[in-house]
Amino acid sequence: MATEASPARLTAAGLSRDGDRGVTGPLQGHHHEAYAIVLPPGHPLGADYTRGKLRVRRENLRWFDRRTFASEEKLLMALRGRVSRIPPCAEFTEGLFLQGFVEGRTLPRARFGLGRLSGRHVRQLGELFGQLAAIKHGELSLELLPEEPQGPEGGSRPPVRDGDSAGFLGRLIDFTQFQVYGEHVGEFGALFEGLGISATSLKGLRERSMELTERPFSLVHGDLHRRNLIVDAAGDLWFIDWELAMIGDPLYELATHLHLMDYPDCDTRRVKRVWREAVEAARPGASDGWERDLPQLLAFKRAQSVYTDVIRTAAALMAGAGMLALVAGAVAVAGPPGAGAGPGPRCLRLARAAGRIQRVLAVAKEALGLPAVPTRARIRAVYGEWLRERAERRG
């Protein structure tokens, strides 16, 4: 039986030159339902583009990162001419924007010592770092999102002063503690407790963040992972998906990029070097203290990933088909010796989820002050018990 098209799909078909036949998607993405469409005649994105991308934000999303700008599309429009190799964006009708669709492939992962970043791509990353560092605090006249409440009592605080790198990281830690952990602890608290994570797990990271060197703030993309790095037919690197962009410490860009990319050591060294040279040329002082401070920002990214992945993994298991089968498999695995014949195929999803969570916990062990990393069996048992309780509440 054919499923009914979503409102976003219907909008895409209405904009496409070829109707629904000219629509591709939905495209991969967490925050938006997105489609590529064949552009109609007279479109305003330029002669180089035959397809555009429509993005409609999904409802009732969980956000795990701070955001600064109210409109990604208006940010893209403001950056044209200042940042190279970003998609053009235009407002077709009031409140409805289309971006140019960058034809190409995502940047491949290096494996087995192969697939290192080309010199061309390293240079183009450096160009981006320098162009972003040149965009100063207060230069972009765009609507900003309101400051989120901070602290257990929900009070708001004034914006972080330009150059206050310690305050910037402290605000990111606050967001993770109060908006990610605090807002979800009622639903997912048993998971965090079972994995050894508490409300005080970020205390050490917060104390160390107060020692960061001051650096002048600039624009940061904030989400430079492989799916957001597109290699076009000419071999050039393009940078897409700017919804997590913010004004802040330029070193946060390097830390986030290194954390998300998981480069081999040789490429890590090259990217560090090109980042330092680029930001220092664009804004003298933008790399001050970077070698001392980078480990602290990387530690935050590792800790943040734990909170994000624990919740997303649980939500995915709960939403997936066969939740009761997952519970039954988890009970068989977690029960006493002889209680079951083993996980079997139906528990494979739970076993894979436990492997992912163990890996992110191992990487963040020092950042979160964990005395030990739980075993996969322990993680399966924690998630299995949580799923069982959810199933009982539903039933």
Per-residue pLDDT of the chain (395 residues), as tens digits, is 456 889 999 999 999 999 999 999 999 877 889 999 999 998 999 889 999 999 998 877 788 999 999 999 999 999 999 999 999 999 988 888 999 999 999 988 766 555 678 999 999 999 999 999 999 998 999 999 887 766 656 666 778 999 999 999 999 999 999 999 999 999 999 999 999 999 899 999 999 999 999 999 999 999 999 999 999 999 999 999 999 999 999 999 999 999 999 999 999 999 999 999 999 999 999 999 999 999 999 999 999 999 999 999 999 998 764 554 555 555 444 444 333 434 454 578 899 999 999 999 999 999 999 999 999 999 999 999 999 998 888 76
Q: Are 86 and 238 in contact (CB under 8 A)?
A: yes
CA–CA dist 364, 356 (Å, integer): 13
Q: For residue 20, what are the CA distances in angstroms to 8, 49, 96, 275, 350?
A: 12, 19, 18, 43, 37
pLDDT of residue 155: 62
pLDDT of residue 322: 53
3-state helix, strand, coil in the chain (%, to 5): 50, 15, 40
- 278: Cα separation from own chain's centroid: 24
Instruction: Tell how strand 105-106 and strand 229-231 pair up.
Output: antiparallel
Q: Output the six-digit token pair for 381.
A: 């048992």
CA–CA dist 293, 214 (Å, integer): 10
